Structure 1
Amino acid sequence: MPATPLLSRFVLRPCSGLLLVAGLSQCAGSAGTAAKPEALPAVVAFNQDWQFVRDVDTTVTANYFSKTGSTAPWAAISLPHTPRIEPVTTEQQQWQGISFYRKFFRVPAAGPGPRVAIEFGAAMHTADVYLNGQKLQRHLGGYLPFTVDISRQVKYGEENCLVVRLNNQDSPVVPPGKPLKGLDFNFYGGLYRPARLILTDALHIANAVQANRVAGGGLLLHYENVSPQAATLHLQTDLQNDASQAQTAQVRTVLLNEKDQEVARATSEAASIAPGAFAQVKQQLSIAQPQLWSPDQPYLYRAVVEVLRDGKVIDRQETTTGVRSIRFAAKSFTLNGQPLRLRGTNRHQEYPYLGYAISDNAQYRDAWKIKDAGFNFVRCSHYPPSEAFLQACDELGLLVMDSTPGWQFFGNAEFQKNSLQDIRAMVRRDRNHPSIVLWEAALNESDMAKPFMDAAHKAVHEELPFTEGVYSCGWLDYAYDVFIPARQHLKAPDYFNKYAKDKPLFLCEYGDWEYYAHNAGFNQTAFSGLKESERTSRQLRGQGERALTQQALNFQEAHNDNFRGPAVGDANWLMFDYKRGYAPDIESSGVADIFRLPKFAYYFYQSQNGPVAGRNGFGQPVVYIANFWQPTSAKQVVVYSNCDEVELQLNGKAVARQRPDASKFADRLAHAPFTFTVPAFAPGTLRAVAYRNGKSAATAERRTPGAAHHLQLRYDRSGRDAGRQDVLFVYADVVDAAGTVLPDATNNVRFALKGAGELVGENPVRAEAGIATVLLKTGQNQESVQLTATADGLAEAGLKIDIR
């Protein structure tokens, strides 16, 4: 696994030789036994051995804190967790109500620190936290972490019971605020991100969110004077003294490269911190010949920060960091002094069935797919994502717009206060990610008051008080540093192409609503004869070749047109299909479906990247045939490639060798498609050969499918093999004897599992466009599982998955 900073930015060390806390993880001893800690800080996964119940009561009762006194039907679960497995499509809305989580645990009698805290990655959306019958805290908001300090209430050496009461019912004061039945996404429920037990000395590095200090808490990194020759890292460490007496400490910071070689070091003077007070230690590190972070070369350093008292390390945090500089200006965005066009998409974090409760590996795979699809930018619509997703963006080289929760709702004063607090908490949690270049401190498509927008913009700059490289953004052309409207907010034919203000413009949505609402831009003539269902960009993968071709053309036309104006980039709507509160169907304008299976448009965007591969291999020469080549297929065959020329062959004979299209729907693209006309259909093989500088660089084939013969099983790796407590998409392909997927197949497929784990979702499940999908939740142990897929009249398939 890569080095991924925890939400607390502490280091998660192996269990051996460290604190073992009963009931916390598989490396803990049995209840009542625990080893004395040898080192601090310690961060222990707090995800196992939880219990859950919903729809039984609305209040916490005394018997909830007893193993024997409660009659509630507690179910054994682990985190992340969703309150109910949700169907993919249904007339019934997602579950809303009151649920309870509880966990029994012990902390060693010797005492760990003496600071003990529990950090929740997220809880949807109103959380009341109790320990041993005493209410400790209420947290509002479902998308950002919160920490509960239990140092004074925990019973050392005895069993403790933690209870969390969750309410995910509509609330007009908790962003996004809008009732679910009118919302353009689902917010689900549960303790849906990991939790951690944090054990530290009374003198420690404060948590950035919990400290609730402007531009304070935790570690704050900022680079200046960035060039290939040198860079300066300014680092602020916020120390908190919870002891009853003054403490004296130093801060030592070491910057390591990817080979773990030291490249810079700084040690502060000793500072005295009064009881109950905090101090901010500022350090400056000079870096010679830095490796600069960029989408093509996402180089990450590691900053290791240690707190020393009397020469002994008493606290330690580390974070990955990228050296880079950014600048938004009217008509331009520059990264490390070089112009870069932002080619982006929007992403909702939900999975089918599980909602938001997915593994960190699943978060990584989503980022990997966005990068693989050719994008260099992602907008986190319409809320802050998991930090695991942001860490993946850092590692893979995806620029990010981090977004506060909001959509078409502007509430009362209490709502606005909570929203402004969300903005600050988002910046405090995420401020050190090199991938983040924009802070969406606006409630999307909401009629915000000017004083609120002023305060939101100010909040970003107060939390990041630097003279350069900090940019707020909002969908209204007021207050914010960067204007981010959706293309459909103005009408055809110009949209925002004649925007003339001296302000950076980024089109944060395009390609969906313009066509859904019959606003077809320049392509009115071609669209005039189409039925409504064929005009829209909302096309399920199973709706067929013509629908997928239309969707891809819509995105192509809109993306091409966006180059005609002053926008510094754009983000299509959107990456993955998703579910909404206000409609029972899937919103299907994704370039991949809800199961993360690509549509034709995925490959159109992939062709806009490269053809020189970056560090992780993305952007290499590609070619893709957007045609199933069966009797009903169009004879006009579209091929996507980032190469100079493409030759199309049918059954070994050349149809044509062509340069890219020169139409008005492709004249601004980095790599226009190649459109071939095949005189007549003949069953067999279409083969596309892409040439770069006169040499073959990539090939692709389409074979006419025959009769359904057997199933093939595979699972989605997307840069991550199966891990423990992971969530995997497992695909059963309906194929002919030669292994060609049948794009019209809708067979019912049944999945079976042997080994530790759980199949989630419909089972049997009907294939869509020849592929049936089930979710696999793996267990806690490193082992193997065996899957089998069967369907009437087809040879079955088996798949062994090694869990690492």
Structure 2
Amino acid sequence: MKKIVAIIVCCISIISCHKQAGISSRSRVDFGRNWQFTKDSTATNWQTVNVPHTAQVEKLIVVNQWQGDCWYKKDFSIATKDKKSFLYFEGVMHETEVFINNKPVFKHKGGYTPFTVDVTPYVTTGNNTVSLKVNNHDNAVIPPGKPIKELDFNYYGGMYRNVYLITTNPLYITDAIAANKTAGGGVALHFDEVDASKAIGKLKVHVKNDSDANRQITVKAVLTDSDGNKQEFRSAAAIDVAKNADVTATIDIDVESPKLWGIANPQLYTLDVSLFSNGVEVDRYTTKTGIRKIAITADGFFLNNEKLFINGTNRHQEYPYVGYAISDEAQYRDAVKIKNAGFDFVRLSHYPQSEAFLNACDELGILVMDCISGWQFFGEGEFLTNSYQEIRDLARRDRNHPSVIIWEVSLNESNMSEAYMKEANKILREELPYNDIYTAGWMDNANYDLFIPARQHGKAPEYWNNYSKGDRKILVAEYGDWEYYAQNAGFNQTQFGNLKEEERTSRQLRNSGEKRLLQQAYNFEEAYNSNLMGKNTIGHANWLMFDYNRGYSPDLESSGISDIFRIPKFANYFYQSQRDPQQQLAPVLNSGPMVQIASYWDAASSPNVTVFSNCDEVALYLNDVLVEKKQAAKGKAVLLAHPSIVFNLKEFKPGTLRAEGFIKGQKVTEHSVATPGKAAKLELSYDVSGKQINTNKPDVVFVYAKITDANGTVINNAANQVTFTINGKAAQLVGKNPMPAEAGIATIVLRTEELKQPVTITATAAGLTTAVLQIK
């Protein structure tokens, strides 16, 4: 009997230990639902909102964007004071005061970087209230510092990124930014030596002991690859941590035959870091990372020892109407569109963008230039202090992302002082003291590893092709836009506001017509080819991926190769054609052979038909009669992998154009366009780009109403007014309604709050058959 009792006691003891270990691990709970919000200065008119949230839904073209104070508050419960409680805000625009139970506890300046509030000293067991006073006023001490009326983008107010309530034990792994440790805080993993056989690096784990007793700790790290294979690493010995003190544990990481992260096969590892005290797990931190080798040498840029010309784009993070308040899924969809356009690189102009977007770049194999906030403004005093802190915060937040290869610690197009540039580079190198960290600046300054001018900052026709300063390399950070629009206008963008050469500019809305959209594509193609001639050019990024709003101008900046609703223009397919047809990407992405006819083939179309393709040959048919089969014209001055092909038809004849792509004599792909008939009906669709609508949190997706003929061909000059209605409580329509079609497509934004039940959207337009779409 005694043995039985002893066994039972032992089992209870083991179960208790397991329970203790289980509940000891941190919790990270979404804290975005059911906030109260008001813009009322008396803070009496509250409405319930969910995060991400914008303080003001704007019109499609933002003029006199709302700026001001707003307030958020939320009740929450704390089960026990034995735990640490933190609120983690991914992004609030752009000055925030935090109150706990009406007591001011924290201030943050900066709309693009996260901050953590340790609320433990201020909460009580049971019910508590957190309140935020938020403003997005012009503020010369908060980077980028420039007032909206002179800025090339907008400061959309509100709590526009995720918020989390994090609970840990008093002995815990810190947050990298909140810890404020140079080259430390949180979890940092870096591989100093990488090849196909082995990766050698170090893991640093920062631990804080906020308990009232001295403790001993050990740390275990587990790396799990995409196939589930695990490798375990441990700290060499127990480490003493005094009460109210902190310590950093360092672990050697040695990975045999690593699965390398790359642009075509972006292998990711899950890193689990467990913190133990007295043999019991007291905290666990999990993240994803990748193993890759990057180098900029005299011969160019190398990824995993393979030379790569970096082909990329620029991206602003805004959506129409809701500004910056977009979901993690919407961030992912943007990344998918960038990859599908043929790009393997994105410059995050001109500020730190969301963690979700960087995660998507990690997952999809998109190289990243990470940027601090800056655009044509340089301040002194507190501005400099805040900018320097942003560099530290950016490095600490993003250092484990394999996608980040270049750090733009430069205030874009701003007259930076030598002292600023020196200090900015010094700070980044302090935070990331590794050999493969590369800084970039728009000024040709020796403090930076890489010179990243815009193409228009050089002189035509060579621009930067003859740039040479020893082994110093150049990446053209913006191109394809200004040198055609304003004949190398430089920075004086408003001077050319009345320029009438509409057909020459690369700034074309999607409804600008076939001729002008083709010119935009030709502009990008010509500039791309020219950049390839640069003696020291390792890559480039076009301006830009998506159309966007500008604070200083009452129109959309329309250099995007897709419009603000993410609908592609012809130029999108030029870039897609530059991807190797043999490259195979993840199923969620488009890859392989492609061919695209850049014509609407209506009465206004040119009989000279442009086709973009990455195939060896293209055959063009009109009404099933072969027009010609030809290869792209190549010559000494043509360095593009796949130049556009122009077929010269004698005249327009209505019907169907069909292009067939051939590789090594075999047909591998085709594309058709048909002359549209009379507008007859509407067709509804919505875009998820490989990421289904979130059923637990707010999400935003585009809903498209196409105006088509009876055969489903889009009427590309249709501008009919389309009215959208919705049936279902789980979502709402955001945007102008009725909405005029642009180039045959009317778009509205669908915001879902918690899509547990289907919603039905109906589109109607005078004289057209109604369309109905159910979203589950």
TM-score tier, shorter chain, comes to over 0.9
| SS of structure 2 residue aligned to 1:794 | coil
Q: Give the counterpart letter for 1:590 in structure 2.
A: G
| Match in the other structure for 1:470 | 437
Please point out which of 42, 50, 68 is paired with 2:35. 50
Which residue pairs with 2:237 in the alignment? 269
Alignment of 1:124 with 2:93, yes or no, is: yes
C-alpha distance in structure 2 between counterparts of 1:233 and 1:254, whole Å:
14
Larger deviation: 285-294 or 631-640?
285-294
Spell out structure 1 runs of 4+ moving beyond 6 A: none
Q: Does structure 1 conserve the Cα–Cα contact (< 8 Å) formed by 2:485 and 2:507?
A: yes
Q: What is the correspondence of 1:351-366 to structure 2 with a 5 Å cutoff?
A: 351-366=319-334
Residue 142 of structure 2 aligns with an amino acid whose one-letter code is V
CA–CA separation in structure 2 for the residues paired with 1:351 and 1:413: 33
State the partner residue of 2:715: 742
Instruction: State the distance in 2 between where 1:331 and 1:353 align.
Output: 45
Kept in 1: contact 2:682–2:771 (CA 8 A): yes
Specify the SS of the correspondent of 2:554.
coil
Query: Is it true that 1:761 corresponds to 2:746 in the alignment?
Result: no
Structure 1 residues 354-384: Cα deviation after superposition (integer angstroms, max 9, x where no partner): 0000000000000000000000000000001
- Going from structure 1 to structure 2, the CA distance change for 1:268 and 1:202 (only over 3 Å counts) comes to farther
> Which residue is equivalent to 1:536?
505
Distance 1:663 1:55, change over 3 A: farther
1:446-480 Cα distance to aligned partner (Å, 9 max, x none): 000011100101111111111x2101111011111
In structure 1, which of residues 557, 566, 590 is the aligned counterpart of residue 560 of structure 2? Answer: 590
Asked if 2 retains the 8 angstrom alpha-carbon contact of 1:205 and 1:237, the reply is yes
Which residue of 1 is the match for residue 277 of structure 2? 309
SS in 2 for 1:163: strand
Task: Find the partner of 2:757 among 777, 783, 804.
Answer: 783
Residue 613 of structure 2 is matched in structure 1 by 641
Aligned to 2:15: none
Write out per-residue CA displacement over residues 547-591 of structure 1, whole angstroms, 9 at most, x where no aligned residue: 100100000000100011121000000000000110010000000
Q: Does the CA contact (< 8 Å) of 1:264 and 1:286 recur in 2?
A: no
State how 1:336-735 maps to structure 2 within 5 Å: 336-466=304-434, 468-478=435-445, 479-501=447-469, 502-519=471-488, 532-565=501-534, 566-616=536-586, 617-662=589-634, 667-724=638-695, 725-735=698-708
Tell me how far apart the structure 2 counterparts of residues 475 and 520 of structure 1 sit (CA, whole Å). Answer: 17
Give the conservation status (yes or no) of the 8 Å contact 2:294–2:436: yes
| Conservation of the 8 A alpha-carbon contact between 2:217 and 2:275 | yes
CA distance in 1, matches of 2:582, 2:767: 45
1:60-95 per-residue CA deviation (whole Å, 9 max, x = no partner) reads xxxx6xxxxxxx1101101010011000115x3211
CA distance in structure 1 between the partners assigned to 2:652 and 2:421 by the alignment: 58
- Structure 2 counterpart of 1:309, which letter? S
Report the counterpart of residue 27 of structure 1 in structure 2.
none
- Structure 2 partner of 1:68: none
Equivalent residue letter for 1:658: K
Q: Residue 773 of structure 1 corresponds to which residue in structure 2? A: 747
Report the TM-score, using the length of structure 1 for normalisation.
0.90
Structure 1 contact 55–97 (Cα < 8 Å) conserved:
no
User: How many Å separate the matches in 2 of 1:82 and 1:520?
Assistant: 35
CA distance in 2, matches of 1:116, 1:600: 51
Kept in 2, the 8 Å contact 1:473–1:484? The answer is yes
Rounded Cα–Cα distance in structure 2 between residues aligned with 1:293 and 1:378: 17
Match of 1:4 in 2: none
Contact 1:624/1:640 (CA < 8 Å) preserved in 2? yes
Deviations along 1:413-464, whole A, 9 cap, x unmatched?
Answer: 2101100100110010000000000000000000000111001011111111
For residue 322 of structure 1, the aligned residue among 268, 290, 313 is: 290
Decide whether the 8 Å contact of 1:343 with 1:569 is kept in 2: yes
Q: Which residue of 2 aligns with 1:207?
A: 175
SS at match of 2:475: coil
The residue type equivalent to 2:613 in the other structure is: S
Distance 1:531 1:407, change over 3 A: closer
CA distance in 1, matches of 2:180, 2:420: 20
DSSP-derived class of the 2:502 partner: helix
Which letter maps to 2:58? E
SS of the aligned residue for 1:506 comes to: strand
Q: 2 CA distance for matches of 1:121 and 1:520?
A: 37
Aligned residue for 2:528, secondary structure, equals helix
Deviations 1:330-377 (A, max 9, x none): 450000111011001000000000000000000000000000000000
Identity of counterpart residues, as a percentage? 48
Distance 2:664 2:572 in 1: 25
Query: Partners in 2 of 1:352 and 1:628 — Cα distance?
Result: 26
3-state SS, counterpart of residue 687 of structure 1: strand
Q: Given that residues 241 and 278 in structure 1 are in contact (C-alpha distance below 8 angstroms), is that contact kept between their aligned partners in structure 2? A: yes
Matched, 1:256 2:258: no
Work out whether 1:798 is the aligned partner of 2:776: no
**Partner SS state of residue 387, structure 2:** helix
What are the Cα deviations for residues 596-639 of structure 1, in whole angstroms up to 9, with x where unaligned? 00000000000011212333154311110000000110111110
The CA distance in 1 between the partners of 2:281 and 2:336, in whole Å, is 37
CA distance in 2, matches of 1:268, 1:678: 75
For 1:93, give the aligned amino acid. Answer: N
Q: Which consecutive unaligned segments of at least 5 residues does structure 1 have?
A: 1-35, 58-63, 65-71, 522-529
Is the 8 Å Cα contact of residues 40 and 314 (structure 1) preserved in structure 2?
yes
Cα drift, residue 264 of structure 1: 4.1
Q: How far 1:670 sits from its partner (Å)?
A: 1.3
Instruction: Pick the aligned partner of 2:125 from 156, 174, 179.
Output: 156
Aligned length: 740
Shift of 1:662: 2.9
Q: Distance in 1 between matches of 2:242 and 2:118?
A: 20
Q: Decide whether the 8 Å contact of 2:235 with 2:249 is kept in 1.
A: no
Distance 1:740 1:779 in 2: 34
| Aligned CA-pair RMSD | 1.6
**How far 1:759 sits from its partner (Å)?**
0.6
Q: SS state of the match for residue 505, structure 1?
A: strand
Give the whole-Å Cα distance in 2 for the aligned partners of 1:596 and 1:507: 24
- What secondary structure does 1:762 align onto? coil
